A and B are shown apart, each in its own frame.
Chain A
Amino acid sequence: MDHRPQAWGRPRDDVYGAYDASYLHTDGPKTATQSPIVTGTSVIAIKFKDGVVIAADNLASYGSLARFTDVKRLRTFLSTSVVGFGGDVSDMQFLDRHLNELAIDEAYEHDIVSTGAEADQPTGSAAGQLNAANLHKYLAKLMYRRRSDFDPLWNQVLVAGFDAQAKPFLASVDLRGTTFTSPSLATGFGAMLAQPIMRRFAATEEDAARLTRDEAVNVVKECMKVLFYRDARSLDRYSIAVVTKEGVELSEDEQLEKQSWAFAERIRGYGTQVV
Chain B
Amino acid sequence: MFRNNYDNDSVTFSPQGRIFQVEYAAEAVKQGSVVVGIASKTHVVLVAIKRNAEELSSYQKKLFPIDEHVAIAIAGLTSDARVLSNFMKQQCLGHRLTFGRSMPVRTLVEIIGSKAQINTQHYGKRPYGVGLLVAGVDDHGPHLFEFQPSGMTEEMVAFAIGARSQMARTYLEKNIDKFADCDREELIRHGLRALKESLVQDRELTIDNTSVGVSGVVKAEDGSSKVEPFQVYDQQDVTAWIESVADDKEGGAGTGETEAEGMEVDS
Contact = CB atoms under 8 A, between A and B. Distances in A.
A165 B139 CA distance: 11
Contacts, number: 25
A138 interface: yes
A137 B100 contact: yes
Interface string A94-135: 000000000000000100000000000000000110100110
Interface string B135-175: 00011100000000000000000000000000000000000
A109 B100 contact: no
B107 interface: yes
B98 A109 contact: no
Nearest to B101: A134
A141 B224 contact: no
A232 interface: no
B94 to A, nearest CB: 10
B2 interface: no
**Interface centre among B97, B100, B138, B224, by most A CB within 10 Å?**
B100
25 contacts: A109-B104, A109-B106, A109-B107, A127-B139, A127-B140, A128-B104, A128-B138, A128-B139, A128-B140, A130-B99, A130-B101, A133-B100, A133-B101, A134-B99, A134-B100, A134-B101, A137-B98, A137-B99, A137-B100, A138-B98, A138-B99, A141-B97, A141-B98, A164-B101, A165-B224
Interface of B: 97-101, 104, 106-107, 138-140, 224
A44 B99 CA distance: 24
Interface residues of A, number: 11
A133 B140 CA distance: 18
Contacts of A134: 99-101
Contacts of B104: 109, 128
Nearest to A166: B224
A138 B97 CA distance: 9
A141 B100 CA distance: 10
Which 3 pairs show the lowest CB-CB distances between chains A and B? A137-B100, A127-B139, A128-B139
Contacts of A164: 101
Contacts of B106: 109
Contacts of A137: 98-100
A44 B101 CA distance: 27
Contacts of A130: 99, 101
Contacts of B98: 137-138, 141
A136 to B, nearest CB: 8
Nearest to A142: B98
A91 B264 CA distance: 55
B232 to A, nearest CB: 25
Contacts of B97: 141
Contacts of A128: 104, 138-140
Contacts of A165: 224
Contacts of B224: 165
Nearest to A163: B100
Nearest to B224: A165
A118 B97 CA distance: 31
Given A137-B98, A164-B101, A165-B224, 7 more contacts: A109-B106, A127-B139, A133-B100, A133-B101, A134-B101, A137-B100, A138-B99
Contacts of A127: 139-140
B193 to A, nearest CB: 32
A27 to B, nearest CB: 35
Nearest to A130: B99
Nearest to A129: B139
A130 B103 CA distance: 11
A252 B98 CA distance: 31
A127 B104 CA distance: 10
A133 B99 CA distance: 8
Nearest to A128: B139
A222 to B, nearest CB: 33
Interface in A123-169: 127-128, 130, 133-134, 137-138, 141, 164-165
B17 to A, nearest CB: 28
A137 B101 CA distance: 9
A128 B107 CA distance: 11
A137 B104 CA distance: 17
A261 B1 CA distance: 96
